[in-house]
Amino acid sequence: MPRMSLTLRLLVVLSLSFGAARPQSRQSKETQKRADDEEVVTVRSHLVNVDVSVKDKKGNYVNDLRADDFTVFENGVRQKVEFFNPPLAGGAGAGVESAAKTARE
């Protein structure tokens, strides 16, 4: 009798395992169909952002910089700066630094 019980338990576990696996395979096929129907857009970009902060000897941010003021190298090879977007006056961290000075005073 115990052997019959063990066999029955094993059959129940196996049938539940196969039953649980079956809906997953259907779901993956449906997901694959939806993925095949969607458009795929591939974009290549050679734009590299390089954030810099420039300060003078007194620690003040330098304003009015142009792309010509910078030289960028990659693996020892000079790169052309084709796009330059200066931050707001005072540099990227100017607001934070002035807030810190005000808090200390």
pLDDT in tens, 61-81: 888 888 888 888 889 999 888
Cα–Cα separations (whole angstroms), residue 100 to 58, 85, 88, 104: 17, 26, 18, 6
Any idea what the Cα angle at residue 13 is, between residues 11 and 16, rounded to 5°? 105
Cα 26 to Cα 5: distance, rounded to the nearest angstrom: 33
pTM over 0.85: no
pLDDT in tens, 8-42: 676 666 666 655 555 555 566 666 666 667 888 88
Neighbours of 1 (CB within 10 A): 5
- Give yes or no for a contact between 6 and 14, defined as CB atoms under 8 angstroms apart: no
